[in-house]
Amino acid sequence: MPTSPFPHPGPEDEKLIAAARAVLRRNYHPVRHSVGAAVLCASGRVYTGINVEACGYGPCAEPVAIGAAFSNGERTIKAIVAVHKSGRRFPVLSPCGNCRQLIYDYAPDAIVIFSDKGKTVKARARDLLPGAYSSHW
């Protein structure tokens, strides 16, 4: 992965991480809800979501948070982060491949805050999925 041109997460990023942690703390269930996500939109509003486990498949927290934002009329996502529960901690999580594609499709210029070798870092969504498929919507 290329070196990120972005500085390490700052105070605004920490607020977004805190929102993801808060939604997971409120809704944590060891089998059904173990990841929380938060998106920051151009309006300045933050929307959250949790993963939804079901038989065979359930959406990750990132698409649920993106869906919440879009359901409320937002169209521009500036940043996104996901966290998971690990003991008493809620560390930042890297988005899975499906989520990277979804974020790329809806917000290729959004900043993704993620974990890389145990460090919290950030990069543009487009840089997390080299050679991404594009439907040219």
Instruction: Return the active site residues.
Output: 62
For the purposes of burial, counting CB atoms within 10 Å of the CB of 70, is it exposed (0-12), middle (13-18) or buried (19 or more)?
Answer: middle
Helix (H) or strand (E) holding 67: helix 61-71
Q: Within 10 A of 85 (CB to CB), how many other CB atoms are there?
A: 19
CB 48, CB 20: distance < 8 Å? yes
Classify 63 as helix, strand or coil: helix
Single-letter residue type at 39: V
